[in-house]
């Protein structure tokens, strides 16, 4: 099974891109004197005519066909046609699909391109995480109008952890700290109210959280940051801003990040209605 250049010819037929098969072939062929091979990838195969033509082409050069095809009708046609022409074939995914079918206890979907869709979801997640990092803590107000969700609240109301958690759900999240001495960026008031979530917290709990934060930094708990009068001032100011924005408000007191995140996701699914 060689060409004039003394390299085996391997046709890859796939009802998707064919990257999986090519990766496996290159990994396997590396075990044979450097793995030189003439690999010809034919992606998005969705008709019998193309299959018949590729089987004939493989027969003419004494080549082999490797395939990743999940549509039953085309799968069987390829096997029959290759057998008729005496062309060796290797099913890259079939044995694994059969094994997983037994493990899951159900039949596979038999839909082409599902791996590509999973890849797309992965890259959307990465993009969302990068977005959350870039627009954390009000760093760049330009991100507010590009965000899927904007979180606002005083310091230590879990804005950053929530941003990262929601980013893993492929949502682009920006967050803005509300401080009495700093007027929020005008972009905040241009964000649709249903895309903005206000976070509030019980003042006693916030006082405890801030005291612990100061201790971890080696600072005295008597600092203004943990002063109850200051905390009440900040919460009052944040409430005014949230009312001005018109956004729903979630009390994060005694709530885990996951619980608050699920409340936010429910709000978004229901069009921003306060639950």
Annotated binding site for ADP: 153-160
Tokens found for residue 71:
């549509």
What CA–CA distance (Å, rounded) separates 273 from 107? 39
| H or E segment to which residue 90 belongs | strand 89-91
What CA–CA distance (Å, rounded) separates 63 from 205? 71
Q: Return the exposure string of 4-36: e unless at least 16 CB atoms fall within 10 Å of the residue's CB, then b.
A: eeeebbbbbbbbbbbbebbebbeeebeeeeeee
| Largest interatomic CA distance in the chain | 86
Q: Coil, helix or strand for 114? A: helix
Q: Please, is 206 exposed, middle or buried when counting C-beta atoms within 10 Å of its C-beta (0-12, 13-18, 19+)?
A: buried
Binding site members: 153-160
């Amino acid at each position: 099974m060689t060409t004039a250049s003394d390299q085996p010819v391997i046709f890859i037929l796939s009802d998707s891109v064919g990257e999986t098969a090519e990766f496996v072939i290159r990994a396997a062929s590396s075990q044979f004197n450097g793995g030189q091979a003439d690999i010809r990838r034919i992606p998005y195969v969705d008709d019998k005519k193309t299959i018949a033509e590729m089987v004939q082409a493989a027969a003419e050069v004494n080549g082999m066909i490797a395939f990743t095809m999940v549509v039953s009708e085309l799968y069987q046609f390829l096997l029959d046609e290759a057998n008729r022409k005496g062309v060796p074939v290797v099913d890259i995914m079939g044995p694994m699909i059969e094994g997983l079918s037994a493990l899951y206890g159900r039949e596979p979907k038999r839909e082409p391109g599902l791996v590509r869709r999973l890849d797309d979801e992965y890259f959307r997640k990465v993009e969302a995480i990068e977005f959350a990092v870039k627009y954390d803590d009000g760093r760049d107000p330009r991100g507010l109008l590009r965000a899927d969700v904007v979180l606002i609240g005083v310091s230590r109301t879990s804005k950053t952890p929530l941003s990262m958690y929601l980013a893993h759900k492929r949502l682009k999240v920006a967050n803005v700290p509300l401080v009495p001495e700093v007027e929020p960026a005008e972009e905040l008031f241009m964000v649709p109210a249903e895309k903005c979530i206000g976070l509030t917290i019980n003042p006693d709990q916030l006082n405890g959280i801030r005291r612990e934060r100061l201790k971890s930094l080696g600072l005295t708990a008597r600092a203004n940051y943990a002063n109850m009068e200051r905390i009440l001032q900040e919460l009052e100011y944040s409430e005014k801003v949230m009312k001005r924005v018109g956004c729903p408000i979630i009390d994060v007191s005694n709530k885990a990040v996951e619980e608050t995140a699920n409340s936010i996701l429910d709000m978004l699914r229901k069009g921003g209605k306060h639950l």
